[in-house]
Structure 1
């Protein structure tokens, strides 16, 4: 190996575990360099390796118990220890434990160390012993599941070795969890910067439980370092408990909320405006398979909860969105930078014109849901609405984000396509022919002079027939000024992109590195365009 520590680390980090094991057998120098990397990450072990890992920990634990008994004066154990000593020097875990940086999460580790009840020691005793042998663990990201919360002994172990170091704390418990257990965890994680909760909290404490864990701990009124919070399907618990928790989030800047319980949502709406002065990013996600159906006025209250104005709003709704919700969002258009929304009802998307025309700081607008497997309906914006002409002059209205917008992912439809009349799509409800509507759409797109990403289609099983042709004849040449464009996406759009179009794109969009959705097999011209790109511009990614 090289004598440069940094270079050795770069090489070793690229190798798989089996490759590292072979390198360690080359000679003493390689062994000295490689072995720490071989032991540093003990996650993702195969089943055979998990069994070997358990045996190693169990043997080391038993040997340590023998040594302790000997130190306590049990002279009858001395001969037994000498006869069954694992090694004349340090055990394997003693020797390599200080090199271990990453272990499986506590719940996964308990499963690995699990053994039949009659076999001693128990898993929680082994995990406590393992943590003692690994003093330099990297536990900045800590995920705690209900298996690790099932006893006071496990809680003590997590507190002693993990909680105080965690910066990203995640608690997932689908069974009812007592409020004091959750308080116990949160109080004893002083360095947390991110917090994720998916918990079902009981409404009362269990008086019968032997709560032996000391609950006294010094704590400030709020958690100063905590900046990001994710409340994923939290439910149960009293209003007093949730107010206790939420009022300590006064320094957070980013909130992700999957509403499951109306009481939790009401408490959150109450606290956001009074206590969360720095909050400027919200992700509000409503999935009918997970979340509760909240009334519109409560959703509007949540979307009104930034005292300084939202910079980032990401909202996914799978129910009908009422006007009160859009009005709550409209109050934040002046500060908005990222707007990522997906509503079930198409008609609400006509209000997107208000977003684009009223948001002077907007650089990202996304309405295309990438998680396409979960949706059966795709909202879109009507082309005649997107054009947005002045009623008196007939000219395009000026939009405030024309020079700031960099990412636009928006389906524009409702365009008559006489060229596809044989496929049953004529668009009789729209006046004029296809090109007469398409060209002003291109005129509107051309105004986003700093645009880097343009998605007009999404990967779905339903083709878009009433869409832009994306041909030079239909007006594509109007986008010549988009010199910053890097990515074009026309998935599932019935475009007429051919050889002439892709040659024009590569000539006029010098930073282009991806074209997604050219309909191969739709026509010979499409196929020629793909072959030409592959031959002359292989660095442009095609999907």
Structure 2
């Protein structure tokens, strides 16, 4: 019996074959062709690395194929009514798109890929024996819409560099509503974010009537956040960077009501100017039932694998100094005249409240039993601007870290860290720019409790965690560690 007679095994083998080798396989015989053609067209363009010349050639050939199919369909069925109307239609049995379009699951399209280059007339006449000279050249929107009509199994769509006109936005809403209502949404600004407003993103999110599964956005404002929470029942992955309108309530609503959620990311590393980073308030995150005094069950407890978000709102009476050496709650000497510069320090309502909250936060985290990545901190400091450096009491000039977390988890055994013993799949932990209290005993415990741990980033090796960093380096070289240190101005 051939492995091709077992569909699951054939799919597994095909997943390891490069696009080039797949083109060889489909030429072997009819059986191999039937088996491997769907895998060859699964991802367009292929994810394998191509040279710039090869990538450009593939894009142009794909555009010409879509154009030829589009013009042929125009001759068979002339357009009627509103050309912007989105509707699925049948194509001729010999149509290129009707044959291969259903196999396309992942599609990446750049607007320039669909624009007719001025230098391709020779290529066009070679590829397309019937250039349809009498028909006007179709626009990129017409070609894209035509392509969508023959991709009923599309799961992931990545589009970028479209203009932000009202006509285009109406077009995208129609696409989201009628053509690909359940695909991923991934908007990459690439310097074009001035064309897309919070209201635009909210409108497109709202247009997906069957619910979005994977959402990746550079910015999430108030309107788009409100629209997003309505898709929690289908949401599987959420990755956002700048989140001025994403509140703790929004975040908890998604986490508590998303049964398919595996990725929840609101933190990104890398230098960033004036980031707006949302955070979970401890009280919201705990979500305790006032009647039973127990934590309410959340829908993603058995599915969540990657959690990257700040958890704040925990009084920390043990943290009396800022990271750069000043007393918390008092103005820094060089800024005494600046109005509103004094930090407001969160106080306990009763002795021990901070530790009580931490215990409940650990309990909530412990319920995510499939968690692989726990990112409570991150590093997006802007090192390139000398104006961000301030002089500390020692006389040195260091980067002013306004986003440093003080009202956070200690990550110490005394505060209840051992409650996270249930996270046996944990591989990555990030506590960068957090007022943690991780000592040697804590890293020893982590090594025992989390057998798959590969990365522990953010230990304050210039403060109280130098010994832990040293022990980890000497005794666990297999665990990578990137400590967090004061950034001195040289």
Q: TM-score, normalised by structure 2?
A: 0.62
1:421 maps to 2:360: no
1:390-432 Cα deviation digits (max 9, x unpaired): 2433321110111111111111112222111233167336634
1:486-541 Cα deviation digits (max 9, x unpaired): 11111111211010111111111112121111111212xx2221222222221111
In the alignment, the residues of structure 2 paired with residue 189 and residue 375 of structure 1 have an alpha-carbon distance, to the nearest angstrom, of: 49
1:454 Cα offset (Å): 0.5
Instruction: Answer yes or no: is the 8 Å Cα contact 2:69–2:96 preserved in 1.
Output: yes
| Aligned partner of 1:245 among 120, 140, 144 | 144
Counterpart of 1:339 in 2: which secondary structure?
Answer: strand
Q: 1:317 matched to which residue of 2?
A: 219
Counterpart of 2:247 in 1: which secondary structure?
Answer: helix
In the TM superposition, what are the counterparts of 1:322-333 in structure 2 within 5 Å?
322=223, 325-333=224-232
In the alignment, the residues of structure 2 paired with residue 345 and residue 254 of structure 1 have an alpha-carbon distance, to the nearest angstrom, of: 26
Q: 2:453 matched to which residue of 1?
A: 512
In the TM superposition, what are the counterparts of 1:396-411 in structure 2 within 5 Å?
396-411=295-310
- Over 3 Å counting, the alpha-carbon distance change for 1:256 and 1:470 in structure 2 is same
| Aligned partner of 2:202 among 300, 312, 318 | 300
- Over 3 Å counting, the alpha-carbon distance change for 1:501 and 1:286 in structure 2 is same
In the alignment, the residues of structure 2 paired with residue 299 and residue 239 of structure 1 have an alpha-carbon distance, to the nearest angstrom, of: 27
| Aligned partner of 2:109 among 196, 215, 223 | 196
Q: 1:441 matched to which residue of 2?
A: 361
1:473 Cα offset (Å): 1.1
| Aligned partner of 1:281 among 181, 184, 193 | 184
Kindly indicate whether structure 1 or structure 2 has the higher relative contact order, using CA contacts under 8 Å at least 6 residues apart.
2
Counterpart of 2:157 in 1: which secondary structure?
Answer: strand
Larger Rg computed on CA atoms: 1
Counterpart of 1:270 in 2: which secondary structure?
Answer: helix
- Over 3 Å counting, the alpha-carbon distance change for 1:218 and 1:304 in structure 2 is farther
Instruction: Answer yes or no: is the 8 Å Cα contact 1:243–1:271 preserved in 2.
Output: no
Instruction: Answer yes or no: is the 8 Å Cα contact 2:222–2:246 preserved in 1.
Output: no
1:457 maps to 2:377: yes
In the alignment, the residues of structure 2 paired with residue 306 and residue 392 of structure 1 have an alpha-carbon distance, to the nearest angstrom, of: 37
Q: 2:44 matched to which residue of 1?
A: none
- Over 3 Å counting, the alpha-carbon distance change for 1:473 and 1:242 in structure 2 is same
Q: Tell me how large the CA RMSD over aligned residues is.
A: 3.8
Instruction: Answer yes or no: is the 8 Å Cα contact 2:68–2:128 preserved in 1.
Output: no
- Over 3 Å counting, the alpha-carbon distance change for 1:431 and 1:248 in structure 2 is farther
In the alignment, the residues of structure 1 paired with residue 50 and residue 419 of structure 2 have an alpha-carbon distance, to the nearest angstrom, of: 56
Instruction: Answer yes or no: is the 8 Å Cα contact 1:453–1:486 preserved in 2.
Output: yes
Larger helix share, 1 or 2: 1
In the TM superposition, what are the counterparts of 1:15-164 in structure 2 within 5 Å?
104-106=51-53, 142-144=54-56, 163-164=60-61
In the alignment, the residues of structure 1 paired with residue 374 and residue 358 of structure 2 have an alpha-carbon distance, to the nearest angstrom, of: 16
In the alignment, the residues of structure 2 paired with residue 210 and residue 529 of structure 1 have an alpha-carbon distance, to the nearest angstrom, of: 63
